[in-house]
Structure 1
């Protein structure tokens, strides 16, 4: 419970994140199967800058929202989810809840980031990161329990 609002906020589960990112689509990205620099911030590794300012995220709402009204679900910054990392979905919960067994020192991250290629931004792509380490291309989005 948040002390200031008396409401409950948390990281989304991996299933909730993908549902929100897809926004009713079945394509690679919520808008289709291709991406360009007018749709997301990505591909800035090393000297290979595909889009935007080298070495940093774009301001929030720099790109159009998806069909659910959510901004920046693809690219810009990876987003932590609750789930522990597992190599596959074999044994994953089927009810959308967080998968809290597996390699729990690693958290699943979704959405890609400004530093990474376009393929890492697809709705289905999943990454992982040590829970104890932060970096400048990973952030989070909160879900609110109603």
Structure 2
């Protein structure tokens, strides 16, 4: 069995600084990383305070970047984004602030494009099954139920 590397507080702090600079991180990810590094609770707290004071760690900034990325790249709806942020223990207030990053015109355009593309690829002949497949796809991506049902009525009469 290979012995695990141990870190001093300074080494762990430098490593976590690089970890946070590479990509925005939330508190939960940083805490998990420190736990994996087998740091004691006092050292973890000291390092997290340092990261917060030097702006390496910022929950609001993380949430804003997360929202923009998941919406633009993965085409997720607000429901899915909200759920994923809650899983990362992000505060509800910060989530609502971050969701304002999404322009509503872009939101509806993306939703319409996504629904139309998916409808075009569905090869189901049974209308009910076709509707269900489209609904499941859009719900999985986190789009609101009212939007989904209205769009299904429009695309699959």
Is the helix fraction higher in 1 or 2?
Answer: 2
For normalisation by structure 2, the TM-score amounts to 0.24
The higher relative CO (CA closer than 8 Å, separation ≥ 6) is in: 1
For normalisation by structure 1, the TM-score amounts to 0.25
Is the strand fraction higher in 1 or 2?
Answer: 1
